[in-house]
Amino acid sequence: SGYLLPLLAFALMYRRWQKKGKDPSGRSVIPVEYEAPDKLTPLEVGYLVHQKFSKDYVSAELVYLASRGYISIREIKKEGFISDSFDYELRVKKDWTSDSMLAAHDVTILNGIFGGGTSVLISSLKQKFYKTQVAVAKDVRNCVVDERSYFVEDPVMAANKYRGLAIALFVLAFFLPLPISYRISIVLSGVVVFLFAFIMPKRTPKGVEAWQQSLGFKEYLEMAETNRVKWEEKENLFFKFLPYAM
């Protein structure tokens, strides 16, 4: 009877997902979109699609800020005995402190990078930029969850609740003085809960619409419409969309 526990866990988690985690229905067919939804930045799109913050999104956001004219990015080649290495210089091109249209997380990124200066090397940020990343993650979460209402609740917190429950089941299986069959059942139940954690974050109807538009924009960036891409290269819009493809 102990082996019925994972089946019970699956049934309970499935019911929980239907009530608390399943996204509202969206469009059955996702059309190609030619721009990011709601004028979202690459960092916001990444959070919306993948339901979490990643430091890789910051690199794309820097290219986005360069395309908006706030900074310039210059590659610096350093010749080595065996192989060459590369660094990048970031330089301020436009003041952002009085720009009310700039997202809070972009302001945090720029302040964290330059700190009142006008230029910096990427290599100099490796040991100190992590504090800024924490603040950026909080800012983009506030934007996507609170301001734009794309999620019912913080997707990271929603997933972590169930990951924590799964870990608790693993610990119980290890410490409780139970027959091996029951221990295995508890572990398998924990695996079920852990896997469901990935799909528990729930988008709002508005979030589903923006998410599907993001997927349509991704299809466009993957050159679904070659002729239009060629036109945009002529119009010098390739650099504008490059950050979203990173």
pLDDT digit string (tens) for 30-87? 888 888 999 999 999 999 999 999 888 988 999 899 988 899 988 887 776 677 778 8
Structure tokens at 230: 């060629």
Q: Rounded distance, CA 113 to CA 125, Å?
A: 7
Confidence of residue 228 (pLDDT cuts 50, 70, 90): low
Q: Rounded distance, CA 6 to CA 173, Å?
A: 13
Provide mean pLDDT across the span 80-96: 82
Q: What is the pTM of this model?
A: 0.83
Nearest to 54 by CA among 43, 66, 39: 43
Provide mean pLDDT across the span 99-110: 90
The predicted structure's pLDDT at residue 17:
96
Q: Rounded distance, CA 140 to CA 25, Å?
A: 25
The predicted structure's pLDDT at residue 131:
87
Q: Are 32 and 220 in contact (CB under 8 A)?
A: yes
> For residue range 158-198, what is the model confidence (pLDDT) as tens digits?
999 999 999 999 999 999 888 898 899 999 999 999 999 99
